Amino acid sequence: MISPLAYIHPEAVIGQNCEIGPFCYIDKNVVIGDNNTLMNSVTILYGARIGNGNRFFPGAVISAIPQDLKFVGEETTAEIGDNNTFRENVTVNRGTAAKGRTVVGDGNLLMEGVHIAHDDIIGNECIIGNSTKLAGEVTVDDRAILSANVLVHQFCRIGSYCMVGGGTGCAQDVLPYSMVARDPASYCGLNTVGLRRRGFDRDLVDNIHRAYQIIIQGTGLQKDLLMRVETEIPESPEIAYILDFIRTSKRGIIK
């Protein structure tokens, strides 16, 4: 199940039942778990930590050094969870001294040409479309969907269950459960279809919608609008997540 045309450094650790195709390159200081498939011409570089059941299509490059001039060779990692799919030419850089690691969680689909930069944290069950590029220290929460050719500025956060339209440039944080598109990027309402597909009931969707009406359309200081949400909208983990997301935002939110 390992092609004789693949190169595997003798110090690399490879789990059971892995398929490694021709012209793959696996560096030293690499750990790969069980049941992974590396099609031809996949490159796994120093510092990669890969879980189980992942698929890497031709041209994927995992754990290349960061494209960051502050990087001076520090010991960092690129950590991949389980059951992810990395389509053709996906690149995932390892971390820098800022966080020490780049992380891709479980069950994600990264389509052709996606770039995950240094110190990014990608959650679980996200879909990231063709040629989308994430700058350094971006966080993508669980089950977010980024369409093709999305550009995300460094330090931004993408909320859970959101949908970002194709070709959108995100220079601020994307609210959870929302749809964002246009140029410049704007809030376009709730990701209603996505939420219902994920089992959100009508009352909860309505409460999230009412919260965003207050936050997006309301007037006054942001802290006062958030207090209105706390007093006017029934408590739930989803509303608490929205409030914490906004209060901890470093770049501001897309409205």
- What is the pLDDT, as a whole number, of residue 65? 98
* pLDDT-based confidence at residue 212 (cuts at 50, 70, 90): very high
On the question of a common fold for 7-140 and 195-247, the answer reads: no
- What is the pLDDT, as a whole number, of residue 139? 98
DSSP string covering the chain: -B-TT-EE-TT-EE-TT-EE-TT-EE-SS-EE-SS-EE-TT-EE-TTEEE-SS-EE-TT-EEEEPPS-TT--S---EEEE-SS-EE-TT-EEE---TTTSEEEE-SS-EE-TT-EE-TT-EE-SS-EE-TT-EE-TT-EE-TT-EE-TT-EE-TT-EE-TT-EE-TT-EESSBBPTTEEEETTTTEEEEE-HHHHHHTT--HHHHHHHHHHHIIIII--S-HHHHHHHHHHHS---HHHHHHHHHHHT-SS-B--
Tens digits of per-residue pLDDT, 4-59?
Answer: 999 999 999 999 999 999 999 999 999 999 999 999 999 999 999 999 999 999 99
- What is the pLDDT, as a whole number, of residue 86? 99
Average pLDDT over residues 81-103: 98
- What is the pLDDT, as a whole number, of residue 191? 97
- What is the pLDDT, as a whole number, of residue 143? 98
195-247: what CATH class? Answer: mainly alpha
- What is the pLDDT, as a whole number, of residue 128? 98
* Percent of the chain whose predicted confidence (pLDDT) is above 90: 100
Domain edges within the chain:
7-140, 195-247
What rounded mean pLDDT belongs to the chain?
A: 98
Considering the domain delimited by 7-140, tell me its CATH architecture: 3 Solenoid (2.160)
Average pLDDT over residues 81-104: 98
The catalytic residue positions are 118-119, 136
